[in-house]
Structure 1
Amino acid sequence: MTTGVFQRIHSVLTALPISERKIAQYILEYPHEVLNQSAQQLGQSTNTSGAAVVRLCKSLGLKGLPDLKVRLAGDLAKNTPTPLGYRDIEPEDKIESIIDKTLQNHIQVIEDTASLLDLAKLKQALYLLNQAETIHVFGVGASGIVAQDAQHKFLRLNKHATAFTDTHMIAMLLANANSSDLLFGISYSGETKEVIDLLILAKKYGLNTIGLSKFGFRTIDNHVDVSLKVSGEYEAVFRSAATASRMAQLFCIDVLFFSLISQDYEPMIKHIDHTRQAVKYLKDRTYK
């Protein structure tokens, strides 16, 4: 991706060390000036240092200042210096307003997530998914719904997949799993104890692991081979409904699903057709 600096900064701004936060805020306020500055000059402009600039790039998941500048230029070309913000519903909102707010929130979280997805890590995840004999997907709460959606998609591609919600069931599966199996842990916060515990257990048994969480460094990152990230800020007050986070996670699962199809197109399309025919058979059945 060649955009995403603004979104990355907003996602981690409050968690950054003071020196890095000063540089990040400067980038948000004076993006055009940053394009023409070296690390040392940017450090001087923010009363920090060139080393702090390098650390900020690392905190943002970027390769360095040149990478930041390329993405920053992309953001400026799109003319989106700051996110529009997620809109919450209000008491007595008209249904037309709710439709508009829901639409805008879903569009924005998908755009934000698209700007954050790391192509190299996506390719690594696809490699592991292709190599896996069985894919065990696990999440809690709303992330559990995403896990079930992932299982559904993997099954359609003739990949063995599970999505149990009981941690003991998953633990037993891992205990008897083959070394070629994979655990895909989904936790929007990246801190869900049940997900992290199972990922640690999976590594104990020698399985490959993939994690899916919001942008920024999370505990889950310590226990996975590949860490995929989605948009992590600007949830509206009704966070309990997990609407924006769920849409972001589902978008990432869809990207993986279509990428798997594209890599082995003809066989995958046949698998999808076979599953469609099987479901159609059940729908067409009539009983007297």
Structure 2
Amino acid sequence: MNVLLQIQQNIQSYTAGEQKIANYIIENPEKLLPMSVHELAGRLDVSSATLVRFSKMLGLKGFTELKQRVSAALTTISSTESLKEVEKGDSVEDIKKKVSLRMNHMVEQVNKVLANEQVEQAAQLIRNAENVFTFGLGASSLAAQDISQKFSRIGKHCLVNTDITLMATSMTLLKESACLIAISNSGETAEVVKLSSLAESLGIPVIGITGQLKSKVAAKAQVVLMPSSGESIPMRTAATMSLMAQLYVVDILFYNYVANNFEDSMSGIQQTKNIEI
């Protein structure tokens, strides 16, 4: 995980004192490396304990590990310009560097928070279901469509629609042996919460794909798959990375299902591949 990008992406949520430390690290990562905690504390007019707390806030053991992570991060970027948001006048090469850095960071974040057992449980719920409902709005609707497209190709009966009324009707009529995959990055999208509540009342198990474990969608779900883009503040690339995180989780879920149901899945793929229209 690129600690410089982690700091950059979360800087707006920091306190004034924390932002002071963060800005110095981002703007002077090379100068940080030879410094002791006492030297940096004197430079920034903060206490050594404040620097240690800042390091621990990032999930690190202390200031020494922070310097180690900064050093490692510097080997993955050509310059600290890559840490910045896409800006007016950026060249294609600039954009490629910025987006690829965030993509790699997103994959590391998802791998860190996505629990293997939850993926396996979700795949089993889909295996047991005759009807797989998948629902999301906005960018999450693209992830819902991706689920439907992938699982339909291997013979699962998937229903996807952005019309909540039609989805509710279908779920009510086809509630036997069904499951709902509810997708919301915030976990608070009203329509997704309503459909999850309906599923709960109908006895339909819910698989939640959400970036927030303490959310209404997560509370309704039997299984929660956590995509984490590493983008915790509103930014131009944040929506893109959130969607990419969802699609990455969908891929992991799908391939886990295929791996555990290999012959049936390959048979379905072959049959759909040979369709002639």
Query: Same fold, TM exceeding 0.5?
Result: yes
Task: State the Cα distance separating 1:32 from its structure 2 match.
Answer: 6.3
Question: CA deviation digits over 1:96-139, x for unaligned, max 9?
Answer: 11122122222221221111111121111111111011100000
Q: Which amino acid is the alignment partner of residue 235 of structure 2?
A: V
Q: Which amino acid is the alignment partner of residue 108 of structure 1?
A: H
Q: 1:181 to 1:98 in 2, by over 3 A?
A: same
Question: CA deviation digits over 1:178-204, x for unaligned, max 9?
Answer: 331011100011110000000001111
Match among 173, 187, 206 for residue 203 of structure 2: 206
Task: Tell me which residue corresponds to 2:259.
Answer: 262
* 259-268 or 226-235, larger mean C-alpha shift: 226-235
Task: Tell me which residue corresponds to 2:243.
Answer: 246
Q: Does 1:118 find its partner at 2:115?
A: yes
Residues matched between the structures, number = 229
The RMSD of aligned alpha carbons is 3.6
Task: Tell me which residue corresponds to 1:63.
Answer: none
Task: Tell me which residue corresponds to 2:152.
Answer: 155
Task: Tell me which residue corresponds to 1:223.
Answer: 220
Q: Which amino acid is the alignment partner of residue 120 of structure 1?
A: E
Task: State the Cα distance separating 1:26 from its structure 2 match.
Answer: 3.0
* 150-159 or 171-180, larger mean C-alpha shift: 171-180
Task: Tell me which residue corresponds to 2:61.
Answer: 31
Question: CA deviation digits over 1:209-237, x for unaligned, max 9?
Answer: 11001144222111111111011532662
Q: How far apart, in 1, do the equivalents of 2:230 and 2:265 lie? A: 35
Task: Tell me which residue corresponds to 1:182.
Answer: 179
Q: 1:87 to 1:220 in 2, by over 3 A?
A: farther
Task: Tell me which residue corresponds to 1:237.
Answer: 235
Q: How far apart, in 1, do the equivalents of 2:59 and 2:157 lie? A: 49
Describe the SS at the equivalent of 1:230: coil
Q: Does 1:195 find its partner at 2:225?
A: no
Q: Which amino acid is the alignment partner of residue 123 of structure 1?
A: E
Segments of 4+ moved more than 4 angstroms: 7-11, 22-25, 83-87
Q: How far apart, in 1, do the equivalents of 2:128 and 2:140 lie? A: 24
Q: How far apart, in 2, do the equivalents of 1:127 and 1:159 lie? A: 13
Task: Tell me which residue corresponds to 1:93.
Answer: 90
Asked if the contact 1:214–1:230 (Cα under 8 Å) also holds between the matched residues in 2, the reply is yes
Q: Does 1:129 find its partner at 2:126?
A: yes
Q: 1:23 to 1:102 in 2, by over 3 A?
A: closer
Q: Which amino acid is the alignment partner of residue 113 of structure 2?
A: L
Task: State the Cα distance separating 1:166 from its structure 2 match.
Answer: 0.4
Q: How far apart, in 1, do the equivalents of 2:191 and 2:229 lie? A: 20
Match among 74, 81, 99 for residue 102 of structure 1: 99
Q: How far apart, in 2, do the equivalents of 1:29 and 1:134 lie? A: 41
Gaps of 5+ in 1: 16-21, 36-74, 283-288
Q: 1:30 to 1:103 in 2, by over 3 A?
A: closer
Alignment TM-score, normalising by the size of structure 1: 0.69
Asked if the contact 1:210–1:224 (Cα under 8 Å) also holds between the matched residues in 2, the reply is yes
Q: How far apart, in 2, do the equivalents of 1:29 and 1:8 lie? A: 11
Task: Tell me which residue corresponds to 2:168.
Answer: 171
Task: State the Cα distance separating 1:259 from its structure 2 match.
Answer: 0.8
Task: State the Cα distance separating 1:171 from its structure 2 match.
Answer: 0.9
Q: Which amino acid is the alignment partner of residue 170 of structure 1?
A: M
